């Protein structure tokens, strides 16, 4: 019997993709461009915070708990 709520694995994978991956990509790409490590990591952290803000909306859209 299939439930309508997503499994814990999907919730965790979605959290990983929306929060951590963009932050890491921003930090790495800025470092490759030549930005010093401090500002690059701070902008990566900002990307993580933006992802954390968007996460509940994306989770609800994918059928997560209300």
pLDDT digits (tens, 9 = 90+) for 6-56: 677 888 888 888 899 999 999 999 999 999 999 999 999 999 999 999 988
Total domains in the chain come to 1
Q: At what angle do helices 37-61 and 8-15 cross, to 10 degrees?
A: 150
pLDDT attached to residue 56: 85
Select from 65, 50, 56 the least CA-distant residue to 19: 50
Q: Which domain holds residue 55?
A: 8-61
Higher-confidence residue of 64 and 13: namely 13
Four-CA torsion 10, 60, 57, 18, nearest 10 degrees: 10
Residue 2 lies in a domain: no
Task: Using pLDDT thresholds of 50, 70 and 90, give the confidence band for residue 60.
Answer: confident
Residue 49 lies in a domain: yes
Residue 46 lies in a domain: yes
Q: What is the pTM of this model?
A: 0.78
Residue 21 lies in a domain: yes
4: pLDDT strictly greater than 80: no
Residue 38 lies in a domain: yes
Residue 54 lies in a domain: yes
Residue 35 lies in a domain: yes
Can you list the alpha helix ranges (DSSP code H) found in the chain? 8-15, 21-33, 37-61
């Amino acid at each position: 019997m299939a439930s309508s709520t997503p499994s814990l694995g999907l919730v965790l994978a979605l959290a990983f993709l929306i929060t951590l991956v963009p932050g890491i990509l921003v930090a790495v790409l800025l470092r490759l461009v030549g930005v010093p490590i401090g500002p690059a990591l701070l902008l990566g952290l900002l990307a993580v915070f933006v992802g954390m803000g968007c996460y509940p909306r994306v989770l609800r859209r994918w059928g997560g708990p209300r």
